[in-house]
Amino acid sequence: MIRQLKKFTLQMVAGANIATILIMLIIGFSGYINPVRHPMMANIGLTFPAFLLINMGFLAFWVIVQPKGIIIPIAGFLICYTPIRTFVPLNIPKDPPKGALKVLSYNVWHFAEGQEPGNGREAILEYILQQHADIVCLQEASSGNPEEVDAMMKKQFPYQASSDSPGKEKLSIFSKYPILGQEKIDYASKGNASAAFKLNIEGDTVLVINNHLETTGLSFEDKAQFKNLVKGNLDRKESQHESQRLIDKLGKASSIRAPQAEAVARYIQDHQQMSIICCGDFNDGPLSYTHQTIAKGLTDCYVETGNGPGISYHRGGFYVRIDNIICTKDLKPFQCKVDAKISTSDHYPIYCWVKKPVKP
């Protein structure tokens, strides 16, 4: 009787483990689902780490109770290798070679003006200058004192350019190399934008695309309610209501963001003869349609050379990597990192080195 009960229990656990793997697989490849047609499915990729942890729990269970059963969770990890690596990559660090360019992307949150005690603008600018990057791309870069920003950045960057969205959100680029020209990427948005800048890097023309795609649309109150939801501070009825409301809001934002991502991807395709660095705030996770669309055929510098989840947004209960640096295959990335040392903005900066293409 006890043996039969144990067998039945193990079969139930095995079934639950397999079901978890199937869900993990669906979520892991949910980035191929267009949010315009299926907005409710747009953000399920954010739940991927939960099912990854559950599968790890099953692995621990099988190791302790029935070692032969470890084949199930291990098979799950292998089947879901691609989304796992995209979400939480592990790489052996390699030092950037001589001649590699350091690229830094940072959503500076309007330099945290009025958000943080002290001088947020000064703290952010000092951090940027300390990085000694070759190219810096900033999002939400408008400031109450643009003269100070320009003056400080000119200490290291003789070349500067910017592009404004219809809502006057500012994208800025600061470069140690000449900026030959710029072009706004055309897509519908009230307050967000993408812009391409042509740089002359020692005789090579490199296209740098700076992005700030559609925001989630969540207010501070929405994010506070999300925190309460995660912490279990809401009753069942409130939880259901808030969950549905947040899913609807996130789905709507994703359906707006999808055509923007497609426009950026088309622009990249139209300029594929050039070396391209595409970076910025995608406002979407690593398993999203936005990320999958833009990164297709390119190298995600963080996935290729970074380590861990690389959480870049750290406010309001949403902890996810939404800031990216992506490049064409002729550029090799090194040591991509999301730097949590500075928390002045609601985003952490992301940087990496890329090696310029070698002329034959």
Q: What is the 3-state secondary structure (H, E, C) of 277-329?
A: EEEEECCCCCCCHHHHHHHCCCEEHHHHHCCCCCCCECCCCCCECCEEEEECC
Residue 347 in any domain: the answer is: yes
Tell me, yes or no, whether 158 and 268 share the same domain.
yes
Cα(144)–Cα(247) distance, integer angstroms = 34
Tell me, yes or no, whether 57 and 196 share the same domain.
no
**Sheet with 179-184, side-by-side order of all strands:** 179-184, 193-201, 204-212, 275-281, 323-327, 299-300
* pLDDT tens-place values along the chain, 360 residues long: 778 888 889 999 999 999 999 999 999 999 999 999 998 888 899 899 999 999 999 999 999 999 999 999 999 999 999 999 999 999 999 999 999 999 999 999 999 887 766 688 999 999 999 999 999 999 999 988 899 999 999 999 999 999 988 777 899 999 999 999 999 999 999 889 999 999 999 999 999 999 999 998 776 677 667 666 655 666 677 777 777 887 788 889 999 999 999 999 999 999 999 999 999 999 999 999 999 999 999 999 999 999 999 999 998 777 899 999 999 999 999 999 999 999 999 999 999 999 975 655
Q: What is the C-alpha end-to-end distance of the chain, expressed in Å? A: 74
Tell me, yes or no, whether 60 and 157 share the same domain.
no
Tell me, yes or no, whether 188 and 50 share the same domain.
no
Cα(201)–Cα(198) distance, integer angstroms = 9
Tell me, yes or no, whether 177 and 69 share the same domain.
no
For residue 160, what are the domain limits? 100-217+244-355
Tell me, yes or no, whether 197 and 329 share the same domain.
yes
Cα(134)–Cα(4) distance, integer angstroms = 67
Residue 212 in any domain: the answer is: yes
Tell me, yes or no, whether 51 and 111 share the same domain.
no
Residue 110 in any domain: the answer is: yes
The owner of tokens 């003789």 is 158
DSSP characters over 37-85: T-GGGTTGGGGHHHHHHHHHHHHHHHHHH-GGGGHHHHHHHHHTHHHHH
Domain-terminating residue out of 87, 121, 147 = 87
Tell me, yes or no, whether 339 and 269 share the same domain.
yes
Residue 94 in any domain: the answer is: no
Cα(344)–Cα(337) distance, integer angstroms = 17
Q: Which two tokens stand for residue 350?
A: 């992301």
Total structural domains within the chain: 2
Cα(289)–Cα(287) distance, integer angstroms = 7
Tell me, yes or no, whether 206 and 122 share the same domain.
yes
Cα(150)–Cα(138) distance, integer angstroms = 13
Point out which residues pair with 350 in neighbouring strands.
Answer: 105, 338
Q: Whole-prediction pTM value?
A: 0.93
100: helix, coil or strand?
Answer: strand
Tell me, yes or no, whether 162 and 26 share the same domain.
no
DSSP characters over 175-188: ESS-EEEEEEPP--
Residue 235 in any domain: the answer is: no
Nearest to 47 by CA among 23, 67, 66, 22: 23
- Helices within 80-113 (DSSP H only): 81-87
Residue 45 in any domain: the answer is: yes
Q: What is the pLDDT of residues 30-84, one digit of tens each?
A: 999 999 999 888 889 989 999 999 999 999 999 999 999 999 999 999 999 999 9
Domain-terminating residue out of 34, 53, 87 = 87
Residue 348 in any domain: the answer is: yes
Domain-terminating residue out of 27, 62, 87 = 87
User: How many other C-beta atoms can be found within 10 angstroms of the C-beta atom of residue 205?
Assistant: 13
Residue 230 in any domain: the answer is: no
Tell me, yes or no, whether 131 and 260 share the same domain.
yes
The CATH number that applies at residue 125 is: 3.60.10.10
Tell me, yes or no, whether 154 and 175 share the same domain.
yes
